[in-house]
Amino acid sequence: MLKPSFFVNKLPIYGDLILAPMAGFSDLPYRSICRALGSAMSYTEFVNVDELSSGKNGSKRARQKLCYRENERPIVFQIYGHDVDRIVNVAERIQELGPDIIDINMGCYVKKIAERGAGAGMLRKPKSVALLIRRLVNILEIPVTAKIRLGWDEDNKNYMEIARILEDNGASLVAVHGRTKSQAYKGKADWDAIAHIKQHLSVPVVGNGDVCTVADINRIKSYTKCDAVMIGRAVIGNPWILQRKDKQDVTLTDRLNLVRKHLKLNLEFYGLDKGLILFRKHVAKYIEDAPENVKHLRIPLLTCEQASDFEELLFSINKETHTLP
């Protein structure tokens, strides 16, 4: 019998690689692909609790972000907000939708979110973090987790304080992006900080930041001793990294087959027009290192307005490269 890699409270997790929650990317179609390729958990895109406060389960777009398939489990709903009462009320309500875990986003660096006190803005209010996690743990029947950054800026790195608060108040896992809010994605991720948190917490710690290759996966695990590795930007266009495959090790045929599958899932989930439009950002990554003899098809693929035309362009790539469709 397969042995769990770790547990989130009593929930067994099989595998040590996780697709990071990313706005506009970790939607149901792409999560389904990544889960099939090895992502051990499925985090939704982060959802503003304000969007979930209207009606039974909020706006149409917010509800769509929380859609999932049973084969994605364990499924993690990631939410964010700045008001403790509202976060707790929304979390209690969306628990009825059947997630396995509810995660609080304390890492988003976007100005309009963080400066309102949500996302990474919560790191500046340790007492509110303690109150929020304690109330969520007391009211929910499923594990509560959090994803954090190292602090607001270089002069205000309070990651150890926040990590201890999370554990002391009942959080079952802490995911850590090794940068501050002010860094966004600039500079180098601080794996020493992730290692520091892992050394002092008894709950699982997930490391995140500067993991771009299979070698990076092995390095961050060895260096930090983290229980799992969360991968964000490097998965876009290369979900095979979740199988511990670098992109250059994936054949063009396999790439094109996955492009077709991904497009099909997008069209089914979003509809013909929106599904194709939203797929363009993915195909840009899938083909960014395409062979020289098909690079002229890049612009047509990115501006294609009909699914049938898209399929013809993919067939052209097959023909130009002599690969099987």
Strands 75-80 and 42-43: parallel
CA distance 206 to 145: 11
Catalytic residue among 108, 212, 226, 304, which? Answer: 108
DSSP 294-311: GGGGHHHHHH---HHHHH
**For the chain, what is the radius of gyration of the CA atoms?**
20
Quote the DSSP letter at residue 242.
Answer: G
Helices (H), 66-168: 84-94, 111-114, 126-139, 159-168
**Beta-carbon count within 10 A of 83 CB:** 17
The secondary element (H helix, E strand) that includes residue 274 is: helix 272-286
Collapse the DSSP code of 30 into the 3-class scheme (helix H, G, I; strand E, B; otherwise coil) and give the result: helix
Active site residue 108: yes
| Residues taking part in catalysis | 108
